[in-house]
Structure 1
């Protein structure tokens, strides 16, 4: 298995290249790690390679907020500088984005 390095990082604001949504990354899988059912729900002509990082996003479009799971090849950095309005942003990140990047909250182990 070849070593893959994620192009994007946790806290980074990104947008989808083909679909009108953006979000902040809260987790990264080094390669596809979702269900076969989810994989098969993607139209075959749009299915990305499984052998690349996949990102969990607190995502939003004009109407909704949701969790998205997106391949690296379909993401680009969001340079708008606008905050992500997703209701769960404060649960994962410290308040206030710095130029499109959120600082993950530190989790203390007891």
Structure 2
């Protein structure tokens, strides 16, 4: 009898604001990959401490910039501020409520 492990649930969800543990930037999650999905050359070039590839990775719009990042789950914390995210692409991805919460726009497949 084989035991199947449950798929690991992502800690952060689309529309959630997060903060990078080391670099301290804030951002908003626009997509979640259940495991690393970039190429090996990018991984070797971009990561200092080689986060695990088999855990969730996040596409994040970086606050107060025009940049986006691809970040391993272990490098993120939930952001505890209510400040809105200032990024030119936020309106392409989300509706913002009065409470500072972001709801994903429905996107065609």
Higher relative contact order (Cα pairs below 8 Å, separated by 6+ residues): 1
Count matched residues: 105
Relative to the length of structure 2, the TM-score reads 0.85
Q: Where does residue 104 of structure 1 map in the other structure?
A: 104
Larger Rg: 2
1:102 and 1:32 map into 2 onto residues whose CA distance is: 25
Unaligned runs of 5+ in 1: none
Divergent runs of 4+, >2 A: 95-99
Give 1:21 shift.
1.0
SS at match of 1:94: strand
Per-residue Cα deviation, 1:43-65 (whole angstroms, up to 9, x for no partner): 55x2111110000011135xx33
CA RMSD of aligned residues (A): 2.0
C-alpha deviation, 1:107, in angstroms: 2.9
CA distance, structure 2, for counterparts of residue 66 and residue 97 of structure 1: 25
Cα deviation per residue 1:58-85 (whole Å; 9 max; x = unaligned)?
1135xx3301000111100001111100
Q: Could you tell me the TM-score, scaled by structure 1's length?
A: 0.84
Gaps of 5+ in 2: none
